[in-house]
Amino acid sequence: MKNNNKISNLFSFIILIFLFLSNPLKSKEINFKANEILSYEEGNIIIGKDNAEAIIDGEIEIFADKVTYNKKNEKLVAEGNVLVLDQINKIKINSNKINYNKIQNQLLSEGQTFFNIKDAYEIESYDVKYRINEEEIISNRKSNIKDEIGNKINLVSFKYFNKTQTLNGKEIEIEDNEKNKYF
């Protein structure tokens, strides 16, 4: 009887291992389109030039003049007239250069950057980090924000939480749509 229980437990354990191993880990795929696609280092470096697109599982779409993806470190660099569309959070980003880290699922812009959030807020800033999973937009540089009714906010640095639509910032100046100013 003890042997039957041991065999039954062993059999159950083997089935669990088989189910775990046969269910592959799901990783976000990056699909590329461009007028010219080059591959280097045995396919580990992919470069798309001229109307390049990188689409990440229907969540993020990146359009640029040039897109470079390194499969080893799972980092993508988009350069020249970059437009990023976050389909899930309804966010559009424009910049001249944006880095995407697939592992951390975050975007980092270099230089002047424009965000449009749900057609309700427009942000102009520099060197912005967008943590997609946490739905946070962060910049430690001078930034300007406008809302859909004409209020303007100027800040030295900010952290915007998309989920709660909350803004934290430093040295905040607000001008409402009636030209009233608050400091």
Q: State the DSSP string of 51-110.
A: EEEEEETTTEEEEEEEEEEETTTTEEEEEEEEEEEETTTTEEEEEEEEEEETTTTEEEEE
pTM equals 0.80
Q: What is the pLDDT of residue 55?
A: 92
C-alpha distances out from residue 136 to 35, 97, 117, 147, Å: 33, 19, 12, 17
What digits encode the pLDDT tens for the residues 4-17? 555 555 454 455 45
Of residues 6 and 130, more confidence is placed in 130
Q: What is the pLDDT of residue 9?
A: 53
In the predicted model, is pLDDT for residue 51 greater than 50?
yes
Mean pLDDT score, 40-52: 91
Least confident of 24-28, 90-94, 165-169: 24-28
Q: What is the pLDDT of residue 27?
A: 58
Mean pLDDT score, 130-138: 94
Q: Which residue has the tokens 């812009």?
A: 109
Structure tokens, 153: 């906010």
As a whole number of angstroms, the distance between CA 96 and CA 92 comes to 14
